[in-house]
Each structure stands twice: as structure tokens, then as C-alpha cells.
Structure 1
Amino acid sequence: MRIRRIFRRSPAARLRTPMAIATMIGLSGLLLSAAVPRDLLGSAPPQPMLVAAAGEIRVLDGATLRLGDQVLQLQAVQVPARGQASCRDAAGRTMDCGAASAEALAGLVAGRDLACRIGGVDRHGRVLGTCEAGGVELGAALVAAGWALAADSATPGLATSEAIARQGGRGLWSAARPAAAAWRRGS
């Protein structure tokens, strides 16, 4: 007959598995902290600036500019595409709202240098930003004149400017067909 011994693991052996798990968690955390960008949890870096001389600026539509080789979409504003809506001018003549918005933007940037604060990229790959020409913020000026609408992501001040332009019947709000709210939903 054989004597069977039942051994208990030593206290050190019982701690090996929990220690191995704790070590793996610690190493994973260390590797993860090295892989995560440092500014992810800290303060955001300043937004980059894009500056263009007056001769480098081209107006593509009522909210899109070409600054040299860079295409920039004005942030937090919406304008109709050319041919998408018709408006009436002060004399009652019908005109293309999209073309009129582009002309209004061209008037704001004419002969002025431009400074834009980059805020991201849209779904089409265009750079989004807020731009100033001659001390005038372009998006806010277009909305106040009625040639652009405040996007859903706009500041409350921009939405207030849109409401004032609507009440005054300026720009797109001067008997636009289809109504500005209709083409906004379609965009």
C-alpha cells in the first residue's frame, strides 16, 4: 500500500497568480499611457491659424474659400448652392440666392488679407474654420446680412443674428423660394 500525501501549496505559490495578474494590468496601463497622446487628457493645444494674402483668396461659393491651394469651409454657417433657391432683390427682381451669397462673401474679402482659425475637417475633407478679413468675422457678417444661416452647431449669438435678419427680411429671407428652412433641411 502506497502512502498518499496531499500537499498544500505554499503561501508564496498561492500569491503567484494574483501577482501575475496585477503585473499584467500594471504593464498594460504603462504601455497604454505611453501610446495615448499627452494632450488627450490635458488642455487642448491652440488651434492652428491659416493666413492668406488678398491675392491668394478665391470665393468658391457663399461659404467656401480657396486660400492658395487650401479649400476652407466657413464653420457654423449654411448657404444654398447655386440654383438651389431664388430670392428677390430690393427692386423686386428674382435672383439666385446661392450666387448672391457668394457675391456677399466676395465683397467681404475683396482686397483684404484673411486670417482663419482652423476648427476641424468636414465630412467632405474640407478644412473648417472661422475667418476674419479687415477685423470682420465672415460667418457672422454673412448671417447678420441674411446671406447665410446659422448651422445647428452655431453659437447662440449667431442664431440671434439669423433671427434678426429673418425679421428684417434681409438676404435669403427676402421672399426666398424655396424657403430657407426648406433647403436647410435638405443640406
Structure 2
Amino acid sequence: MLAIVILAAAALLAAVLDQPLPPVAGKARASDGDSLRLGEARIRLLGLDAPELAQDCDGADGRPWPCGRAARDRMAALLSGGAVQCRPEDTDQYGRLLATCTAGGSDLGAVMVAEGLAISSGRYWTEEAAARQRRAGIWAGGFDTPRDWRDDHARPQGAFGWLPTFWPRI
């Protein structure tokens, strides 16, 4: 009998903890090409990876251009049209909501990838293939993937090394 009670309590706890995250909506502002703020909520778009804000890419002529700023500016333009609706699916290690968001009826991730201002990372493969074929945005010349760029330009850990991972206010 005790085993049944324990299993029932565990099942109830799992059901409570596995509740879907509620949608969020409102006026948003761009943080970079794949993340935004909606009120106090920090949101990272799912299925894409945009160049980092300080990242440059090579243009068709081989000259560098600020692709990270261009991606952020395009995201800001997409967000300026009014309310944004986001469907969170999870949170990441930084406490950001991981979500698919729309503005003006358009999927923000699909637009960013289709315009060559982000790469697909699990979704938007069709949009990436079309952007590559058109040599749109980052596909016009050479670039480091955002992941490789982040790895090569790691932020300094500070005086306490790895401790901020556990105690971020140190």
C-alpha cells in the first residue's frame, strides 16, 4: 500500500512539474539576432543561431561587414511592427525562455534564416537552403558559425574563474 501511495505522489509531482509554459505576448525589443526581451522575460528563439553582436562576416567582395549588428537591427525592425506572441517550450541554462515567436503573423526565426541573417539549428532547413542558394546575407561570403565564433571569442571568466557558474552575483 505504501508503494502505491509513493508512486501516486511521484506521478502527481511529475504532472505538476511537467506543465507547459504559458504563452507570452506584448511589445518586445531585440537583444541580438536570435534573442529578445518581452517585458522582464528574456527569450531565445528556438531553431536558429544568429551571428553574435560583435561578429563580422565576409561579404561577397571579401570585405568584412557587421553581420551581428545587421542581424540585431533586422530583429529590431521585425519587432517594431507591434505585439509579439511567443510559445515557450523550455528554459536554458541562463534562465531565458526558449520559444518560437511571431510578429505581424510571421515566424521570426523563419524570417531571420530566410534572409540569411541566421543559420538553422534544428528547424528552418528549407529557409536556410533557399538563403544559401540566393547567397543572401551571411551566405554571400565567408563566415564563422556563431558557435565557432563564440568558442573563439569566449568571455573572460573573471577573478573567480568558474564560481560565477554557481554564484552569478560574485
Q: Distance in 1 between matches of 2:133 and 2:146?
A: 14
Question: Which position in structure 1 is the counterpart of 2:143?
Answer: 177
Question: Which position in structure 2 is the counterpart of 1:163?
Answer: 129
- Whether the 8 Å CA contact 2:91–2:97 is kept in 1: the answer is yes
Q: Distance in 1 between matches of 2:99 and 2:69?
A: 21
Question: Which position in structure 2 is the counterpart of 1:59?
Answer: 30
What aligned pairs does 1:123-142 form with structure 2 within 5 A after superposition? Answer: 123-142=93-112
- Whether the 8 Å CA contact 2:62–2:141 is kept in 1: the answer is no
TM-score by length of 1: 0.69
- The residue matched to 1:36 in structure 2 has which SS? helix
- Whether the 8 Å CA contact 1:85–1:176 is kept in 2: the answer is no
Q: Distance in 2 between matches of 1:65 and 1:105?
A: 8
CA offsets per residue over residues 39-75 of structure 1, 9 Å max, x none?
74xxx7555110113xxx2211111111111111111
What aligned pairs does 1:24-173 form with structure 2 within 5 A after superposition? Answer: 26-37=1-12, 40=15, 47-53=21-27, 57-88=28-59, 94-151=64-121, 154-155=122-123, 158-173=124-139
Computing the radius of gyration over CA atoms, which structure comes out larger, 1 or 2? 1
CA shift, 1:133, in A, is 0.5
Q: Distance in 2 between matches of 1:184 and 1:142?
A: 18
- The residue matched to 1:37 in structure 2 has which SS? helix
Task: Could you list the structure 1 runs, at least 4 aligned residues long, displaced by more than 6 angstroms after superposition.
Answer: none
- Whether the 8 Å CA contact 2:52–2:146 is kept in 1: the answer is no
Q: Distance in 1 between matches of 2:41 and 2:105?
A: 22
Q: Percent identity?
A: 34
Q: Distance in 2 between matches of 1:103 and 1:83?
A: 13
TM-score by length of 2: 0.76
Question: Which position in structure 1 is the counterpart of 2:161?
Answer: none
Unmatched 5+ stretches in structure 1: 1-25
Q: Distance in 1 between matches of 2:141 and 2:131?
A: 12
- Whether the 8 Å CA contact 1:78–1:184 is kept in 2: the answer is no
Residue-pair matches, total: 150
